[in-house]
């Protein structure tokens, strides 16, 4: 997938191999895939890396109640949003 992204976008985006490096300083995370690495992240590490714990989940991977308990503002498809950062 990275080779295809590099081909399409060239130097207009920065590609990294580590998911948590990609989250460093991020204002939000948008999930558009159900790939296994995204199913069970280290939520504490994820939250610590982000500038704002805001998640838009287009695949309904996570439980909204749990995300709220973990301190994330969480928006998913067809379900109520939780938290407010």
Residue 72 has φ and ψ, to the nearest 5°, of: -95, 145
Q: Which residues, 6+ apart, have CB-to-CB distance to 1 below 8 Å?
A: none
- The mean predicted confidence, pLDDT, of the chain is 93
* Nearest residue to 72 (alpha-carbon basis) of 32, 23, 11, 34: 23
Q: Kindly indicate the confidence band of residue 2, based on its pLDDT and cuts at 50, 70 and 90.
A: confident
Task: Write out pLDDT tens, residues 30-50.
Answer: 999 998 888 999 999 999 999
Going by the DSSP 8-state scheme, the letter that residue 82 receives in this structure is B
Question: What pLDDT is attached to residue 1?
Answer: 81
Task: Give the tokens for residue 29.
Answer: 């995370």
Distances, alpha carbon 49 to alpha carbons 1, 19, 21, 40, in Å: 23, 10, 8, 16
Q: Is the pLDDT of residue 61 over 80?
A: yes
Q: Is the pLDDT of residue 84 over 80?
A: no
């Amino acid at each position: 997938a990275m080779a295809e992204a590099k081909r399409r976008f060239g130097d207009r985006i920065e590609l990294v191999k580590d998911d948590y490096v990609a989250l460093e300083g991020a204002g939000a995370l948008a999930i558009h895939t159900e790939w296994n690495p995204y199913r069970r992240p280290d939520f504490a590490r994820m939250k610590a890396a982000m500038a704002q714990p805001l998640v838009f989940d287009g695949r309904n991977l996570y439980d909204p109640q749990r995300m709220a308990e973990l301190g994330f503002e969480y928006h998913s498809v067809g379900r109520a949003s939780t938290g407010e950062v």
